[in-house]
Structure 1
Amino acid sequence: MSTRPAHHAPTNPSFTEEDLTRLAGARSFARGRGYLSDVAELSATDDRITATVYGTEPYHVVLRPACPRLTGSCDCPYGQDGHFCKHCVAVGLTALDQWDDLPRLSAETTRRAQTLDEWLDSLDRDQLRDLLREQLATDPDLHRRLELRAAAAGSDTPAVRAQIRRLLDTRPFEQYGVVDRRDAAGYAAQLTEAALAIRALATTELDVEAVTLAESAISAIGEAAERIDDSDGDLSYAAEEMAQVHLEACRRLRPDPVRTATWLAAHLLGDWSHLPELDPAEYRDILGEPGWAELRRLAREAHRSHPSGWTERYVLESVLKADGSVDELVAALSADLEPNGSTHLTIALELDRAGRRDEAATWAERGLAETEGTPPRDRRLVEFLAHHYEQAGRPTDLVRVRRDDFHTLRTLDTYRSLRTACRAADCWSVERPRALDLLRTDALEDQINCRPHTGPVLIEALLDDGDAEAAWEAAPSVPTTPAQWVRLADAVRDRHPADALPIYLRAITPLQQQTGHPAYERMTELLLSARACHRARGTEAEFTRYLADLRAHQKRKRNLLRMLDEHGL
């Protein structure tokens, strides 16, 4: 009996009500609130939330809350145009309000799917065949897909070739010469179908036709990518699958190595080489010595003809890396050094992999010297050299690199790295006052010049040092953010409860206008902190009155009240 993997809703949502407002706009967000009672069949898995919204007609919504950003789709007319519609808003708000119930709803969805699997497992061969034929009679897309599978399994190469040409054609999906986002998934599904057919052809007959079909498909994908909106990444996934099919077919069928090298070079150096991306190193064994020599020749020739070309340089680098030709690679790279130090880093890494660590360090040091004052410097160059000095037992040089880096980019991370290096070299007591003076100057300049800021690094550094009192004393004189004030209150609450209390109360106020699990959780944390302040001051009766008033105003938020009850609030 087949089983489906269990799906679970994420522990905490990775989006907020503000995210929904930003994506939908104020008007659609407001209209979405009117559809909350029309949301049904809500469910969630690890990567998506689904529901049906019964508006003018049933509309199916899919939200993908995964990082880096929330996305949503709906099959209503407005949603099909690529907008985050009012139905998406309604589902998002419902999910935030019912987050604690999503695991139960998801389990019910999984149970229904498992029931279907069990029923299918109970059917015998004839019953399954009858069921499939019934579906084929009413589903032309399924009929076409299985027809192609049958042709591939039977090694009917002409039929497979004709079908694949049709599957690669973007014209049925085009409007005014382009394929928009809502149709890109359909075209990508056809590409996946073509890839499966080519894979089947390669495993049923030792015929290099499967290789040439995959090559034609890859070329067609690259050309089509220029007129397809691949915002959701469907085309990229399908292209990667086709690239894998080509690699598998080459390994199995062993086509002519020189011809394959010529095709590979043409793809890598072509206008559409970014999709799909092919790694020359993966073809090294397939090409053998004759094919690899031809690929190396073509890469060098292209670079000589156009030495400033990014594509030509990248292809030559890839081939030389796979070839292990370190000196030749260094010579090629050093002919055109990037001003941010990234090329210096690449050379250092290749020399380091070859065991030539002193030469690697020399290139990294050169990179730092030649990119001084040239923003933005490649941060990995600093980390490479710092790691080298640490491994080589050179603490003085390590402190120098970390100090120079901190002077160039004064952040909490560079401050921490400087502190770690100085403590290892036993010089932090000397270095720390200088570093804090620089951060204090930065904070004052931000305040004078009204620069946009996320809060002075000075406060973060002092808190990170465990020097809460110094941070508390410095905060009033620099542009400290509300979030930093809360962290300061947390750090000094035991010693200054009367001062910390108003900070917590100010932070609670805007949360009372929000919904969703993250807002409720944060409000609960702040209320617990406020209660601790009242207890330290002996004013618990005052907190009791405040909490009763807050609960009265928030009485419609059942999940919030349940959370407060669980924490004894």
Structure 2
Amino acid sequence: MGGLTKANLKARAGARSYERGLGYLDAVSGVEVGDGWATATVHGTDRYEVALTLDGPGGPAGRCDCPYGMEGNFCKHLVALGLTLLAQRSSLPRQRKAARDRAHDLDAWLSALSKDELLTLVREQIGEDRRLRRRLELRAAGARGDVAGIRAKVRELLDVRPFARYGYVEYADARAFADQAGQAVSAIGALTGSGRATVAIELTREAMRLLAEVATSVDDSDGGLGQVAVDLADAHLEACRAARPDPEELAHWLFGQALRDLDTGLTDIDPLDYRDVLGDAGMTTLRKLVVEAWRGNRTGWAEKYLMERLAKTAGDIDTVIAVHAADLTPNGHTHLVIARELESAGRPDEALNWAERGLRETPDLATVDTALVDHLCERYARAGRLPDAVALRRSHFSARRSLLAYQQLRATARDTDCWSAEREGALTLLRADAERQQPGGWYGGSVLVDALLDDRDATAAWQAATETGAHDKQWLTLADQVRADRPADALAVYLRLAEPLTAQTGNAVYEQLVVLLLSIRDCHRRLDTPDAFTTYVTALRASLRRKRNLMRLMDEHGL
């Protein structure tokens, strides 16, 4: 249980859920502890079942069937279970042993039952658990070779209607539907293992169609249904390898399925995974279908993807280039893709030509793919063309005027020992933008202030902020940077930023306010005016005394 601590629980749940979990410690019951896991019932608005993994790679993880937990959150009920386990740390080894003993006793009891007694027990469970009944019905149908029965059960398991409220499967019900759909995949896969692969091919295709029809009606945030689709595609490939269907028919089906899949992203079937099944005849048919489709729609995403995959598999770099060149994006991104393909193929001169063409064919350099600029600058530097790299960075900065473009210009210009001159020109452009009140930096602030802060030129940044304005986030950074040398200026900023927070509520606000108060205290210490701070914080505590969480946080920091 080394990964379970109060700090980890708070980090995992967040301050709000953690503090709310403190109020549910008396509501935890039925705790069961195993090796690395624990379950319990927590009574809140309703009765919730919680399960906690104690030593996960990212700290504690868990599952709760409360509404907040069903959305994938680490809720207050999980916090309550975690804190309960920490409080019972000394007794956990005994509880683990008790859980193992119970499992052993249950297994021994079951082993001692007669066949008739076991059948009676199973029949009772079948009557109470519909999911168990369906799983056993599928196994029975498979064992007796009842293909019609399996087909009917597969259709039933992929029927979304019992889970759909108002025609849609909500997140809370999606997991149960995905589990049920997974049973259909298992049943189909079992057909291949029992020598009925041809039937399995037919059923996987029908299941894919049914799954595609309902996929848009399911909230698959957890990806459970997506995994079912992937498993279904794997089952189809396995069945095809066992049954060896007609290669030309298979090629036509794979082509159509791949086009649909690439649009929906459901089963993610790759026709090239079937090369060993298709053979020469099937691959010839597949190539013909893909080429005809691409020629009929050279800008279609699915058609381009399939054509590129076939060309790459064949090592046909010129066809790969032709596929991309037929649908060039206006920001130079496709030119960059082509350049990288040509470089990988050992054709650097052509690669450079395509990259430079991407710049020329971008109508507005402010919209160019930054990765293309980075690519070209790297190639220029590698070829000893540093002035060309600086010129490109300068042009890109002039068009975009962002902090990132400024940083990139600075890095490249420093490599050629010309940053002093480049900086002056760049700051002139940013100063003109700031004077026109043209934001574009962090949080909508002035890029000029951002750039000067990034240069660690606090004096110039403060002057720019004073003359042309700055965002509060920038003022805070400025105050932090000048506090040691200009505590009075920094104090004025901190006091102004703290004032609106005193009228707000919430733990996040309180944390911000305390950070500012600590900075205010430091400024008064530097100014040798501790009494002024004492007067200020005393008045603040008196006016905000009803905010108990704030008071506690201030106490923790000695404020």
- TM-score, normalization by structure 1: 0.76
Cross-structure match for 2:513? 523
Secondary structure at the aligned position of 1:372 is classed as coil
Distance 1:422 1:548 in 2: 52
Letter in 1 for 2:100: E
Cross-structure match for 2:308? 317
Shift of 1:286: 5.0
Is the 2:299–2:326 contact (alpha carbons within 8 Å) kept by the matching residues of 1? no
How does 1:16-415 map onto structure 2 within 5 Å? 54-55=44-45, 104=83, 118=100, 121-123=103-105, 125=107, 127=109, 135-149=125-139, 151=141, 157-174=147-164, 179=169, 183-203=173-193, 205=195, 207-230=197-220, 233-250=223-240, 255-270=245-260, 273-285=264-276, 287-373=278-364, 376-415=367-406
Distance 2:50 2:431 in 1: 50
Are 1:471 and 2:461 matched, yes or no? yes
Shift of 1:328: 1.0
Cross-structure match for 1:457? 447
Letter in 1 for 2:362: T
Query: For the structure 1 residues 521 and 180, does the alpha-carbon distance in structure 2 shift closer, same or farther, using more than 3 Å as the test?
Result: closer
How does 1:410-449 map onto structure 2 within 5 Å? 410-446=401-437
Is the 2:440–2:447 contact (alpha carbons within 8 Å) kept by the matching residues of 1? no
Query: For the structure 1 residues 425 and 178, does the alpha-carbon distance in structure 2 shift closer, same or farther, using more than 3 Å as the test?
Result: same
Query: For the structure 1 residues 381 and 558, does the alpha-carbon distance in structure 2 shift closer, same or farther, using more than 3 Å as the test?
Result: same
Distance 1:143 1:364 in 2: 62
Secondary structure at the aligned position of 2:268 is classed as coil
Cross-structure match for 1:66? none
Is the 1:191–1:239 contact (alpha carbons within 8 Å) kept by the matching residues of 2? no
Cross-structure match for 2:60? none
Query: For the structure 1 residues 552 and 290, does the alpha-carbon distance in structure 2 shift closer, same or farther, using more than 3 Å as the test?
Result: farther
Shift of 1:211: 3.6
Shift of 1:403: 2.0
Is the 1:260–1:291 contact (alpha carbons within 8 Å) kept by the matching residues of 2? yes
Question: Deviation per CA, 1:34-83, whole angstroms, max 9, x where unpaired?
Answer: 9997898699xxxxxx996744x557899xxxxxxxxx99867xx99x9x
Letter in 2 for 1:351: L
Secondary structure at the aligned position of 1:169 is classed as coil
Query: For the structure 1 residues 140 and 442, does the alpha-carbon distance in structure 2 shift closer, same or farther, using more than 3 Å as the test?
Result: same
Shift of 1:522: 3.2
Distance 1:186 1:124 in 2: 27
Question: Deviation per CA, 1:113-160, whole angstroms, max 9, x where unpaired?
Answer: 967863564245454576876544421122213443565578765543
Is the 2:390–2:412 contact (alpha carbons within 8 Å) kept by the matching residues of 1? yes
Distance 1:4 1:248 in 2: 42
Q: 2:528 aligns with which of 535, 538, 542?
A: 538
Shift of 1:524: 3.4
Gaps of at least 5 residues in structure 2 are 30-39, 52-62, 112-117
Is the 2:365–2:400 contact (alpha carbons within 8 Å) kept by the matching residues of 1? no
Shift of 1:289: 3.8
Distance 2:354 2:330 in 1: 14
Query: For the structure 1 residues 116 and 507, does the alpha-carbon distance in structure 2 shift closer, same or farther, using more than 3 Å as the test?
Result: farther
Q: Relative contact order (alpha carbons < 8 A, sep ≥ 6): 1 or 2 greater?
A: 1
Which of 183-192 and 229-238 deviates more? Answer: 229-238
Distance 2:483 2:442 in 1: 29
Cross-structure match for 1:24? none
Distance 2:211 2:333 in 1: 31
Distance 1:289 1:109 in 2: 66
Shift of 1:360: 1.9
Which of 487-496 and 319-328 deviates more? Answer: 319-328
Shift of 1:266: 0.7
Query: For the structure 1 residues 545 and 149, does the alpha-carbon distance in structure 2 shift closer, same or farther, using more than 3 Å as the test?
Result: farther
Letter in 1 for 2:496: R
Shift of 1:495: 0.8
Is the 1:219–1:267 contact (alpha carbons within 8 Å) kept by the matching residues of 2? no
Is the 1:9–1:106 contact (alpha carbons within 8 Å) kept by the matching residues of 2? no
Cross-structure match for 2:114? none
Letter in 2 for 1:404: S
Distance 1:553 1:180 in 2: 46
Distance 1:444 1:39 in 2: 58
Distance 1:361 1:11 in 2: 52
Gaps of at least 5 residues in structure 1 are 21-32, 44-49, 63-71
Shift of 1:421: 0.8
Query: For the structure 1 residues 436 and 133, does the alpha-carbon distance in structure 2 shift closer, same or farther, using more than 3 Å as the test?
Result: farther
Which of 432-441 and 136-145 deviates more? Answer: 136-145
Shift of 1:547: 3.2
Aligned residues with identical type, % of pairs: 41
Query: For the structure 1 residues 211 and 557, does the alpha-carbon distance in structure 2 shift closer, same or farther, using more than 3 Å as the test?
Result: farther
Letter in 1 for 2:436: E
Letter in 2 for 1:541: D
Is the 2:208–2:229 contact (alpha carbons within 8 Å) kept by the matching residues of 1? yes
Cross-structure match for 2:37? none
Query: For the structure 1 residues 235 and 380, does the alpha-carbon distance in structure 2 shift closer, same or farther, using more than 3 Å as the test?
Result: farther
Query: For the structure 1 residues 273 and 532, does the alpha-carbon distance in structure 2 shift closer, same or farther, using more than 3 Å as the test?
Result: closer
Distance 1:434 1:519 in 2: 40
Distance 1:376 1:105 in 2: 55
Distance 1:109 1:145 in 2: 39
Letter in 2 for 1:300: V
Distance 1:437 1:536 in 2: 35
Give the CA RMSD over aligned residues. Answer: 4.5
Secondary structure at the aligned position of 2:269 is classed as coil
Distance 1:10 1:36 in 2: 11
Is the 1:326–1:350 contact (alpha carbons within 8 Å) kept by the matching residues of 2? yes
Query: For the structure 1 residues 560 and 467, does the alpha-carbon distance in structure 2 shift closer, same or farther, using more than 3 Å as the test?
Result: same
Is the 1:498–1:533 contact (alpha carbons within 8 Å) kept by the matching residues of 2? yes
Shift of 1:356: 2.2
Which of 154-163 and 541-550 deviates more? Answer: 154-163
Query: For the structure 1 residues 108 and 338, does the alpha-carbon distance in structure 2 shift closer, same or farther, using more than 3 Å as the test?
Result: farther
- TM-score, normalization by structure 2: 0.77
Is the 1:345–1:367 contact (alpha carbons within 8 Å) kept by the matching residues of 2? yes
